[in-house]
Amino acid sequence: MIRDRGKIKWQSAFFMPEHVKMLSEVRKEELKVKKPILDEYQIEEFEQKILLAIEYSYQLNITILESGFIKGFCGVIQRLDELNKIIYLQTDDFKRTKLRFDDIVGIEVKEKE
């Protein structure tokens, strides 16, 4: 009588570290998002929301695209560098974050209640 190993013979016994690293990089690449193309209306809307937030010290929820991944920040604008198009944001945990205007894909104003 022949004794078969069943499904075990189809399972891999060993993955090389290079193979595991390559697979994780492939999975990471699949999760990346392309930057949406913003029209002039959306860019002007972002600028209006930024000016409103500066004038009334409102909090902003800013969504940026960094290296293909979406990140969100919430805080108050400390300073605006119009020449270099950089926003200096003080986040809720009192950290200062520097955001480039070109990376922004979404802005929401959180008005005080």
Structural domain for 70, as ranges: 40-110
Would you say residue 15 lies in a domain?
no
Would you say residue 22 lies in a domain?
no
What are all long-range contacts of 5-12, with beta carbons under 8 Å and residues at least 24 apart?
none
Would you say residue 51 lies in a domain?
yes
Distance in angstroms (rounded) separating the CA atoms of residues 1 and 17: 39
Would you say residue 59 lies in a domain?
yes
Would you say residue 20 lies in a domain?
no
Using CA atoms, how far residue 15 sits from 30, 51, 53, 88, in Å, is: 21, 54, 52, 45
Per-residue pLDDT of the chain (113 residues; tens, 9 = 90+): 666 666 665 556 566 788 888 888 888 888 888 888 889 999 999 999 999 999 998 999 999 998 889 999 999 999 999 899 999 999 888 899 999 999 999 999 987 66
The structural domain count of the chain equals: 1
Would you say residue 11 lies in a domain?
no
Does the pTM surpass 0.85? The reply is no
Question: Domain of 101: which CATH number?
Answer: 2.30.30.520
Would you say residue 25 lies in a domain?
no
Would you say residue 89 lies in a domain?
yes
